Every structure is written in structure tokens, then in C-alpha cells.
Amino acid sequence: MTENKTFHTDPDEVKDPNAIQPEIHLDDVQRVKVLSPTMLVLKRFLRNQLAILGLAILIFMFAFSFLGGLFSPYRQQQVFRKYELIPKEYAAAAINKDLRYIVQTGENFSGPSLAQFVLAKNKGEPVFSAGDRDYSYTEKGEDFYLISELKVLTDVIVLAGNGRFTPAAGVELTEDFQTAALEALKSSQTAFEYGDDEYFISRNGKMNTISVAHEIALATKLVFAAYEPEAQPLLNSLDFVEQAQLALINDADSFAVGGVLYRIVIDEDSAIIYRSQDDEDHPFASVSNIIVNPISPDIFLSVDFKRTLNEAIAEGKTTFTAVTQNGTEETFTINRVHETYTVYAQRTSQLIDMYAPPSNEHLLGTDGNGMDVLTRLMYGGRISLLVGFVVVFFEVILGVLIGGVAGFFGGIIDTILMRIVDLFNSIPFYPIVIILGSVMDTLKVNPYARIFILMTVLGLLGWTNIARVVRGQILSLREQDFMVATEATGIRISRRIFRHLVPNVMPLLIVQATLALGNIIIIEATLSFLGLGVKYPIASWGNIINAATNLHVMTSYWYVWIPAGILIVLTVLGFNFVGDGLRDAFDPKMKR
Amino acid sequence: MNDNNTMLEVKNLQKFFPIKSGFFGRVVGQVKAVDGVSFSIERGKTMGLVGESGCGKTTVGKTILRLNSKTGGEVYFNGKEIFGLGNAEMLKMRPHMQIIFQDPYSSLSPRLPVGEIIGEAVREHQIVPPNEFDDYVTRIMQACGLQEYHKDRYPHEFSGGQRQRICIARALALNPDFVVCDEPVSALDVSIQAQIINLLEDLQKEFNLAYLFISHDLSVVQHISDTVGVMYLGNLVEFANKDEIFSNPLHPYTKALFSAIPIPDPTVRRNRIILEGSIPSPANPPSGCKFHTRCTYAMERCKVEVPVQLDKGNGHMVACHLYDDNSGSEKQPETDEASFRAIGEQYDKANENKTESNPA
């Protein structure tokens, strides 16, 4: 009754003589403002400053979560990207230590033949065979070999200075050739020249075999690079490389291939080949012992670039400036690993804007997936609060139904239902939920379906507390005289439950539900933090904090996870303040 | 006994509460709260039911309204066995028999306004047509000393006396024939007690009600009752009309009880009969006459044989071997009847003065 005292002193009504009727008793004063129990509770609640603070927090959280998403310019799963200059691999260079083979068009010289050549070269044997073919090679200069395939022309048996020729099928031998061959045989030569061709002799006892050499490949350690892309095919042709190489070996300053004159200018480690055309020299190719290749086929490396690179490598520089194929001058960096040099160019590239610090665009920065943290927090709040409400709603429905039935009917029904409650209470909560989470992980359950399963399980495991409270309250209410009075006055059972019992259970239920809400939000956050609750890409406050499991993120990017933590703490505090406030308001006797 | 004037007849009513123990709730014993009680109440009359705390008065009151189940016996209300009625019939019977509780605080639902508390059952049973409903509730409230504007208020805004008036209004709104008043004034202070008692008496005259007035306050019982029953440990040990029992109590327990009535006159010497020991447990009542453990006149026979109700004339029933003519014992109680009569008269006077000095 003390709550009403403030209303007793309304001077106007007290002094109005007509308002007071003679038969009114002292405590019946009509001026006392009528307050229903609900209004009284509301008044007491609003007078509780902590509860108001909690309410304010909750209102903010709801506005933030449910309205914030509408005002946020970004979507929940919008990934932000940025353009940045990053060193990108542009070309690779290596000092050539291996022989490079240029094979005659239409011929095959590879695999086993190459291996046999290397073996023969190391042994110093001029002839080698691979498969059913025979080859020979001649060393024309340092690290420059011409490889020929031998074609058997004829077998010769020399008897007392005379040779008996047995030509291979389809081969006709001229007299002059026979004479030249016989002379070579007599002087025990292994090779002789006749006309333009070179012939090889191999002996097997009295049997000599004369073969003709047919150039199929050359091996060199020099690297030819074209000035123009059009020059490239020519640089891969055996003829050109052979002529150029021979000219280099012979210190000649020009050579001709296909009727075109090429001039050579030697410059320290490398040489430049100019193509003379219309009495003008055009740079055609460069020769060096460094292989330079672009990283991707759409990049053409100019000879100038290669020459600059060669110089830079020779001088041991790490950066150099060169003109690219687009005609712009760029600075390149060289990274050396053993004999291999990688050239990097600064290129703008699209990147996911990870862990961007707070800015006007992203007030709380971006997370590890390049998503806006503030927007994620808004949508995460939706999920967290929604999960809390749905689960508590589910718990209240189950708890009131089961607790109410147990309390109202009592006896054997009560015993059975309470044993079911005990059963549910003895289920270890976290193991069940964690196992369920991993099962859903294994089954790759859709993230949206996960939320519903999570809510159902949390509700199923959590209703027992409310059922117990409701049952206890109803058991005590049932024995109260006013419930006996409803029976005595013959009021229907349904009306007794809904008009008399339920309103008296409501206060307790509201308090329990409010406190349970805070609890559910913590459980949801815990599970999501452990990666077992709400899953990426759906945001929830718990899985936003999950970023802090990475030590680097935890120490360097506070703005990714601290705000989510603050929101959880504030929300749970808010629910607890409001719950405590409601409890105090419903029960005025409980004063601190 | 089934003449028109008898409204309620209780025959050998028994109500045992099982004592359960262990995991499966095995019944290990029984609290014999009411163990064979018989009485009857006439239309428009009041029966007082007195006894110590825990003797089963309230259980009798609740059981005859079928708010408890019974263990044995019969309860006839207007000639109908109420335990034989179906649920629907019982619901129809409810408005005719009402109860007023001892504690006016717990007997009103805190979340309903008073008008709803009083009128709810009226609407439920359609006592009056819907268009007369408001007027009817107002009339009942005014008859019980409440104002019309109290309708919209909640119980917490009322004092104990007013709450008890609300309870009475709730009971009377159903237009009952019979009201169990379960210690309706014991939670109230004396001035309010008088108001409520007078209100009950006025309403009895107005609506021709019958009351079962349960109390441990003998002076109040003496004031309001037409007949009085005395209970001890689940048994009705003595039953007579008021004047007879107060002037000539027969049972030793009744004598002891009545000797404890305070007399507001310091000059009068009192012969208090002090009972030794406390009331035995109803779960394990003494054999024979249940009172023999505390009775000054206890005989060997009392320990063995259960006394039966004896009619000592004028409907004065007593269950005691002292008055059993076949007992062979002519031993009379030592307290002389004259002194009791004197006490009773003085008490009457004092009581009348008290009630008059506190008008309702």
C-alpha cells in the first residue's frame, strides 16, 4: 500500500466535499487512484534504475540488430575488395648451363636420343645410337655440336685393295663416290667428305658400312632472343642458329641465311645480330648465355629488356629499369635463388580487403573475409537475439505445459512428468551439443538448417527449469484458499487455470524467461565460437568472436572481435538487469 | 431425520489423509482427521463447531462441501448425497453451499479486481440475467458493507476486515442456502470481528442462511450458534443446542474447554480445568476413547472401548463412558454444574456489551 501514498495528497480532490460520501470509511477514500497489479509492477519496474538501464540496452540492441541491417549500406555477406600495387612475377632468368637443342623442322630428336648424345659426348665417341637409329655428332666449337642422323648407304668389303660395294635398297653409287670411299677406307679414316656431304665409316671386322650424315639438330649453350616477335620462328630454325653460331665461332662479322645478310656486333658477354635490309641494319636478335623467359605467354620480352636484365644480373643489382612491350618505363626487382633470377613487376591487383582498419567506409573495419564488421554485427545480433527468443519461447511453451499439467493434476501424473524432467536434466548439455555440432559438420548441413536444429535442441534441453518452477508455483497456488474458493464457487477447470492460475504464474514465468534469454544468448555465442553453432557465412556474435582464436588476429585486429564481445556482454547484462528488475517489481517484499 | 427443515445431514463422516513415504509413495499410515462425525443442521440455523487446533474442524467443513474426497460416511444436502453426484450435477449444486475462509489474505486472487472476484461465479452460474449483473453485484456488495466503487479495485488495496467482507460477498452472491464459515473472524482484530459477526447474523436473517460456524473462539460460537458440536481428535464428543451445552457441558473435554473461556471480570474465581499433556497425533490416535490420555476421569474401560453417542435428552448427545448407564459407574464429574452455568451467564453479558460497543 505504500506505493499509493504519493497519490493520497491530491489537494483538489481532498477538499471537494461532494467527493466524500458520509458512509465512506477511512481507508476507502475514493481519491485513491486505482492501480491494477500490472500497473503497480510497471511503476515499481520503472523506478528501478538498473532495470531501466537494462531496458535501454535491450532497446538499443534490438534497434541495432533489427533496424540496423535496414540502414546499413552493405549486405551481410558482401565481400570488399581493394586494388593494390603488389610485386608480381614478370619474367624468370637463369644462366644457361645446359645444352639447348634446336631440332630441324620435321625431325625427331628427343628423349633417349638426347640421353645417348650426352653419354657419347662425355665418352668422346663420335657416333652413338638410340633405338634402331645411328647418330653422329661433330664439335664445331666450344659447347656447340652439330648432330646428324646416319643413313646406311652401302656395305663395303675390302679385299686386297679392291672394294666390293653392296648398296642399300634404292641407293645407287657413282664411280667417283666409290673411289673416294675406297681411298678413305684404305687410309683407315672414319669419315670422309664427298661433294657437300660428309660420310661416316664404321667397321665390323672386314665389313665396312658407309653412312651419310644428315643434320637433324644442334646443341648449344648460347641463347638467342628475338627483338621482334616475328623473328622468333627464325631463331628456332636449325639453319639460322647454325650459321650464326659458326659466324660467332669464326669471329666473322656477318653471315647470310636464306639470302639475307646478318651482321654481328659483339659486346662483352653478348652479341647482337642485325638484319641488313635495304642497306639498313635492324636489330634482329641477341645472343647470350642467359635464358630469359616471360612468366605468362602474353608477355613479350624485348631484347632491350633482356639486355638490361643481363647487365643487371652481371652487376649483381636487385632493381633495374626497362621499357616494357607497352612502351612504358617500369622498375623491376630481381630476386635471386641460386642461379635462377625472378623478375618482379609492380602490378595493380584486386585483393580481398581483409582486416581493413576502421575508416569512414567501414566504421569497424573488415574481417578476415573482407566483410564489413559493423554490418556483420547487425545481422549477427538478429540471429543471436532471434535464437534466444525462439528457444525461450519454445522452452516456455514446453515448460508451462508440462509443469502446469504436473502441478495442477499432481499425483501420479506429477511423478511421471517430474521423472521425465529429471531425465532431461541429467543429459549432459555440452557434450550433446558439441557432438551434434560435429555430426552436422560431417553431414555438411546447410547453415540455415543448422540454426533451426540448434534452436530445437537448445529448447529441448532447456525447458526443464521452467517446468520445475511452474510446477512448484502451481502446486503452491493450488493449495491457496483462493483456488479452493474457485472450486467451491463451482468455476470451470479451464477458467480456473486461465483466469486464476496462469496470471499468478505469469510474473515468475516472465522473470524466468528473461533470465533464460541472457543464458541462451551466451550458450549460442559459446557454441558459435567453438564453431558448432551458427556457421559462416551466416553471422552471429559468437562466430564473429571466433576470429580471436587466431593469435595474430587477436593481437593485431581488435576491431574485428572486441565489438562482438562487448555486444554480448551488454545484451546479457541488459537481460539480467531487466529480469532482476521484473523480479523485484513483481515481489515488492524482496527489497535489497 | 429427513424432514423438510433439515438442510444438511452428516452421517458417520470419515476423512483420512494417507501418509506416504519412500520413492513409490507407499502409504505407511493414515491421519484420521475426521473419524466418524455425525450431525445435522436445520435451515436458517447456525451450528458452531469448536475444538482445539488440529482436531479436524476445517476438514469437516471442507469435506461436507466436497472440497475434499471422503473416506467414509455420507453427507446429505437437501436430501441428496453430495458424493453421489456427477461432476456436472455437483457444479450445479456448488452455488447452494459456500465457504468463507479463515485467512482473508490468501483467499482472494491478487490479480483480479473485486467486482470480478465477486461476480465471476455469478456469471458462471447465471444467477441473474446478464443485464442485471452489475446491479446485482452492487447490491450484494452493499449488503456486505462494501461500496460500488470498490468493484474496480484489487484485493491488495483492502484491509483485513474489508477483505473478509469481500469473501462473504463472494459466497453470498451465489445465493446459497448454507455457508461454512471456517474461522471467519480469527484473523481479524476484535472490533472487526464484531462487525463481521453482526454482518453474518444480519445476512442470515435476510437470506435465511444456515451456517456451519467453525471456530476455536467459544465466546463467538456462543454468540452466534443455535447448536454447538465439540470435536476432539476427529470425533464429535458432544453435540447439543447452545444453551444446553453452555449451561450443562457433559463431556470432560467440553468442561475443560469451557473452563478456559476468559471472563472479563477479575472478581470471579474460576475453576480452571488444566488438561495435562498435548493433543495426541491423529496419525496414531489412542485406543478406546481418544480423550482417555488426558481425561481426569479416565477408567480402564475408556482405554479399550470406543464410546458411542448417547442422547441425554433434548438432543444433547455425548460420547463418554461416564454417561453410559450400562457402565456401572455412577461417578459424576466433580465440577458442579451450577458454577458452569454462572460462568456462562456472566460470559453472555460481557459478550453482549462488547458487541454493542462496537457497532458494525
| Nearest CB to B111 within list A30, A495, A504 | A504
Tell me the torsion sign for CA atoms A576, A578, A579, A583: positive
The alpha carbon of residue B120 is apart from the nearest alpha carbon of chain A, in Å, by: 8
For residue B168, the chain A residue with the least C-alpha distance is A485
Inter-chain touch B150–A28, beta carbons under 8 Å? yes
CB–CB of B82/B66 below 8 Å? yes
Beta bridge partners of A159: A162
Instruction: Please check whether residue A504 touches B, CB under 8 A.
Output: yes
pLDDT attached to residue B336: 52
Task: Give the pLDDT confidence of A293-327 residue by residue, as tens digits.
Answer: 788 777 777 777 777 887 788 787 888 888 777 77
Q: Tell me whether strands A207-220 and A144-159 are parallel, antiparallel or unpaired.
A: antiparallel
Q: Tell me how many helices (H) and strands (E) chain B has.
A: 11, 12
Task: Give the pLDDT confidence of B190-219 residue by residue, as tens digits.
Answer: 888 888 899 899 989 988 899 999 988 888
Those residues of chain B whose CB sits closer than 8 Å to some CB in chain A are: 25, 62, 65, 67, 90-95, 97-99, 101-103, 106-113, 120-121, 124-125, 147, 149-150, 152-154, 156-159, 162, 167, 170-171, 174
Q: How many CB atoms lie within 10 A of CB A113?
A: 22
Secondary structure in 3-state letters for A337-350 = ECCEEEEEEEEEEE
pLDDT attached to residue B52: 85
From the number of C-beta atoms within 10 Å of its C-beta (0-12, 13-18, 19+), residue A576 rates as middle
**B103 chain-A contacts, CB cut-off 8 A:** 481
Residue closest to A582 by CA, chosen among A36, A42, A2? A42
Single-letter code of the amino acid located at A456: T
CA distances from A368 to A82, A250, A441, A548, A556 (A): 14, 64, 21, 11, 12
Inter-chain touch A489–B103, beta carbons under 8 Å? no
pLDDT attached to residue A455: 92
C-alpha cell at A322: 626497362
Interface contacts A/B by beta carbons within 8 Å: 93
Catalogue all structural domains in chain A, each as residue range(s) with its CATH number. Answer: 47-79+362-591 (1.10.3720.10), 99-219 (no CATH), 223-352 (no CATH)
A92-120 mean pLDDT: 79
Q: In chain A, what percentage of residues exceed pLDDT 70?
A: 92
CB–CB of A572/A525 below 8 Å? no
**CA–CA distance, A181 with A5 (Å, rounded to integer):** 140
Strand order in the sheet with B46-51: B97-100, B178-182, B210-214, B46-51, B227-232, B235-241, B317-318, B310-311
| Nearest CB to B154 within list A36, A484, A500 | A36
User: Binning pLDDT at 50, 70 and 90, where does residue B1 land?
Assistant: very low
For residue B161, the chain A residue with the least C-alpha distance is A27
Task: Give the pLDDT confidence of A391-442 residue by residue, as tens digits.
Answer: 999 999 999 999 988 988 888 899 999 999 999 999 998 898 889 888 988 9
User: Binning pLDDT at 50, 70 and 90, where does residue B327 land?
Assistant: very low
The alpha carbon of residue B101 is apart from the nearest alpha carbon of chain A, in Å, by: 7
CB–CB of A30/A24 below 8 Å? yes
| Nearest CB to A490 within list B95, B103, B167 | B95
Interface confidence (ipTM) of the complex: 0.80
From the number of C-beta atoms within 10 Å of its C-beta (0-12, 13-18, 19+), residue A61 rates as buried
CA A3 to chain centre: 63
For residue A33, the chain B residue with the least C-alpha distance is B153
Inter-chain touch B98–A488, beta carbons under 8 Å? yes
Secondary structure in 3-state letters for A403-435 = HHHHHHHCHHHHHHHHHHHHHHHCCCHHHHHHH
Inter-chain touch B94–A489, beta carbons under 8 Å? yes
User: Binning pLDDT at 50, 70 and 90, where does residue B359 land?
Assistant: very low
pLDDT attached to residue B137: 92
The alpha carbon of residue A4 is apart from the nearest alpha carbon of chain B, in Å, by: 9
Alpha helices in chain B (DSSP H): 57-64, 87-93, 114-125, 133-143, 160-172, 190-207, 218-224, 242-247, 252-258, 300-304, 337-357
Q: What share of chain B is helix, strand, coil (3-state, %, to 5)?
A: 40, 20, 40
CB–CB of B167/B100 below 8 Å? yes
List CB contacts of A427: < 8 A, sequence separation 6 or more.
Answer: A461
Of residues A161 and A415, the one with the higher pLDDT is: A415
Range name among A153-162, A252-261, A375-384, B85-94 with the lowest pLDDT average: A153-162
Inter-chain touch A37–B62, beta carbons under 8 Å? no
Match 661433330 to its residue by C-alpha cell: A138
Single-letter code of the amino acid located at A399: G
CB–CB of B215/B48 below 8 Å? yes
Identify from B106, B144, B164, B172 which residue to disrupt to test chain A contact, counting A C-beta atoms within 10 A and taking the largest count. Answer: B106
pLDDT attached to residue A177: 76
CB–CB of B196/B168 below 8 Å? yes
CB–CB of A55/A47 below 8 Å? no
Inter-chain touch A28–B147, beta carbons under 8 Å? yes
B154-173 mean pLDDT: 88
Identify from A481, A501, A504, A587 which residue to disrupt to test chain B contact, counting B C-beta atoms within 10 A and taking the largest count. Answer: A481
Q: Rounded mean pLDDT of chain A?
A: 81
The alpha carbon of residue A36 is apart from the nearest alpha carbon of chain B, in Å, by: 6
**A5 chain-B contacts, CB cut-off 8 A:** none
Q: Within 13 A of A253's CA, how many CA atoms are on the CB side? A: 4
Identify from A2, A30, A418, A482 which residue to disrupt to test chain B contact, counting B C-beta atoms within 10 A and taking the largest count. Answer: A482
The alpha carbon of residue A411 is apart from the nearest alpha carbon of chain B, in Å, by: 10
CA distances from A120 to A29, A116, A128, A135, A589 (A): 127, 6, 6, 10, 108
Inter-chain touch A487–B67, beta carbons under 8 Å? yes
CA distances from B197 to A150, A329, B192, B213, B227 (A): 143, 115, 9, 10, 16
Range name among A238-242, A465-469, B91-95, B157-161 with the lowest pLDDT average: A238-242
Inter-chain touch A500–B99, beta carbons under 8 Å? no
Beta bridge partners of A199: A192, A212
The answer to whether residue A561 scores a pLDDT higher than 80 is yes
The alpha carbon of residue B193 is apart from the nearest alpha carbon of chain A, in Å, by: 17
Inter-chain touch A484–B111, beta carbons under 8 Å? no
Inter-chain touch A36–B108, beta carbons under 8 Å? no
Instruction: Please check whether residue A503 touches B, CB under 8 A.
Output: yes
A468-479 mean pLDDT: 89
CB–CB of B50/B229 below 8 Å? yes
**A23 chain-B contacts, CB cut-off 8 A:** 147
pLDDT attached to residue A52: 93
Beta bridge partners of B211: B46, B179
**What burial letters (b/e) apply to B149-187, b meaning 16+ CB within 10 Å?**
bbbebbbbbbbebbbbbbbbbbbbbbbbbbbbbbbbbeb
The alpha carbon of residue B154 is apart from the nearest alpha carbon of chain A, in Å, by: 6
| Nearest CB to A491 within list B92, B111, B121 | B121
**What burial letters (b/e) apply to A202-217, b meaning 16+ CB within 10 Å?**
beeeeebbbbbbebbb
Match 656486333 to its residue by C-alpha cell: A265
Phi, psi at residue A90, to the nearest 5°?
A: -120, -45
Instruction: Please check whether residue A479 touches B, CB under 8 A.
Output: no
Instruction: Please check whether residue A495 touches B, CB under 8 A.
Output: yes
Instruction: Please check whether residue A482 touches B, CB under 8 A.
Output: yes
**A419 chain-B contacts, CB cut-off 8 A:** none
The answer to whether residue B6 scores a pLDDT higher than 70 is yes
**CA–CA distance, A409 with B66 (Å, rounded to integer):** 17
Inter-chain touch B94–A488, beta carbons under 8 Å? yes
Range name among A202-206, A216-220, A234-238, B57-61 with the lowest pLDDT average: A202-206
Task: Give the pLDDT confidence of A5-60 residue by residue, as tens digits.
Answer: 444 444 444 445 554 445 555 455 554 566 677 887 888 888 889 999 999 999 99
User: Is the link from the previous residue into A537 a cis peptide, with omega within 30 of 0?
Assistant: yes
The answer to whether residue B331 scores a pLDDT higher than 50 is no
Inter-chain touch A490–B121, beta carbons under 8 Å? yes
The alpha carbon of residue A467 is apart from the nearest alpha carbon of chain B, in Å, by: 21
Inter-chain touch B170–A24, beta carbons under 8 Å? no
**B158 chain-A contacts, CB cut-off 8 A:** 27
pLDDT attached to residue A20: 47
Of residues B1 and B6, the one with the higher pLDDT is: B6
Identify from B23, B77, B101, B109 which residue to disrupt to test chain A contact, counting A C-beta atoms within 10 A and taking the largest count. Answer: B109
List CB contacts of A589: < 8 A, sequence separation 6 or more.
Answer: none
pLDDT attached to residue A110: 74
List CB contacts of B256: < 8 A, sequence separation 6 or more.
Answer: B273, B274, B275
Query: Mapping DSSP to helix (H, G, I), strand (E, B) and coil, where does residue B103 land?
Result: coil
Range name among A241-245, A524-528, B146-150, B218-222 with the lowest pLDDT average: A241-245
**What secondary structure does DSSP assign to B112-146, as a single string?**
S-HHHHHHHHHHHHT-S-GGGHHHHHHHHHHHTT-
Beta bridge partners of A341: A93, A336
**CA–CA distance, A310 with A315 (Å, rounded to integer):** 9
**B95 chain-A contacts, CB cut-off 8 A:** 489-490
Single-letter code of the amino acid located at B352: E
The alpha carbon of residue A540 is apart from the nearest alpha carbon of chain B, in Å, by: 40
CB–CB of A312/A284 below 8 Å? no
Instruction: Please check whether residue A481 touches B, CB under 8 A.
Output: yes
Inter-chain touch B147–A480, beta carbons under 8 Å? no
The alpha carbon of residue A64 is apart from the nearest alpha carbon of chain B, in Å, by: 36
C-alpha cell at A290: 642467359
Task: Give the pLDDT confidence of A495-523 residue by residue, as tens digits.
Answer: 888 888 888 888 889 888 998 999 999 99
**CA–CA distance, A217 with A226 (Å, rounded to integer):** 20
Phi, psi at residue A109, to the nearest 5°?
A: -140, 100
Task: Give the pLDDT confidence of A569-580 residue by residue, as tens digits.
Answer: 999 999 999 998
Q: Rounded mean pLDDT of chain B?
A: 83
User: Binning pLDDT at 50, 70 and 90, where does residue A269 land?
Assistant: low
| Nearest CB to B94 within list A23, A484, A490 | A490
End-to-end CA distance of chain A: 18
C-alpha cell at A506: 505469469
**B93 chain-A contacts, CB cut-off 8 A:** 490
What is the dihedral angle through the alpha carbons of A377, A383, A385, A387, rounded to the nearest 10 degrees?
A: -150
Q: Rounded to two decimals, what is the model's pTM?
A: 0.66
A225-241 mean pLDDT: 76
Inter-chain touch A485–B111, beta carbons under 8 Å? no
Angle at B104 between CA B100 and CA B109, to 5 degrees: 95
Single-letter code of the amino acid located at A463: W
